[in-house]
């Protein structure tokens, strides 16, 4: 089984928000919920959730501000995820698209946003790698994602300029 312990500084959502609300109301998990804490959740074999690590900025997996959030995925992706549990090569190739099953801590209206998750390291849980803004949400969250993309774009442009310069002025030329 993949590691499920969160990084100590992470804020972790124990359940998908919808299940958390029902748990609060009823005092127990709803019928039909199969939960492996910090790993996966299957609700009546109709809805499937994977617990993922999320950071802001998204791709700063070691230094970013971390969260443990749930992503709802298709049955096919859920089965693929469980099938990669004991196979490092399958796990490292795992990628899936789904939607956020929690509001991102500190931001409003992020529940249900489209997200892409993927394995980064064989000994860590999957990461939320991309979030797509497809509905009105918290403007600060949108700015955080936009600035991150712009920083990546800027770094890519600088890298291309440096590579072009190195090509034009190879070793021994100035």
Which pTM value belongs to this model? 0.78
SS3 category, 131: strand
Tokens encoding 115: 């997200």
pLDDT category at 152 given cuts 50, 70, 90 is low
Is the Cα dihedral 7, 8, 11, 14 positive or negative? positive
The pairing of strands 65-73 and 11-12 is: parallel
CB 113 within 8 A of CB 134: yes
pLDDT computed for residue 141 by the predictor: 82
More confident residue, 169 or 98: 98
With CA atoms as reference, report the closest residue to 55 among 112, 111, 7, 96: 7
């Amino acid at each position: 089984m993949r590691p499920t312990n969160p990084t100590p500084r992470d804020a972790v959502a124990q359940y998908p928000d919808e299940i958390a609300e029902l748990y609060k109301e009823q005092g127990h998990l709803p019928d039909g919920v199969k939960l492996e804490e910090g790993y996966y959740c299957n609700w009546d074999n109709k809805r499937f959730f994977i617990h993922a690590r999320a950071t802001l900025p998204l791709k700063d997996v070691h230094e970013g501000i971390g969260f443990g959030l749930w992503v709802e995925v298709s049955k096919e992706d859920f089965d693929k995820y469980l099938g990669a549990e004991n196979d490092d090569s399958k796990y490292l190739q795992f990628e899936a698209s789904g939607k956020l099953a929690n509001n991102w801590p500190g931001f409003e209206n992020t529940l249900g946003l489209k997200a892409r998750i993927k394995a980064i390291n064989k000994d860590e849980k999957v990461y939320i790698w991309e979030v797509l803004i497809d509905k009105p949400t918290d403007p600060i969250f949108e700015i955080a994602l936009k600035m991150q993309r712009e920083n990546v774009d800027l770094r890519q442009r600088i890298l291309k300029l440096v590579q072009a310069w190195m090509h034009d002025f190879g070793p021994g030329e100035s």
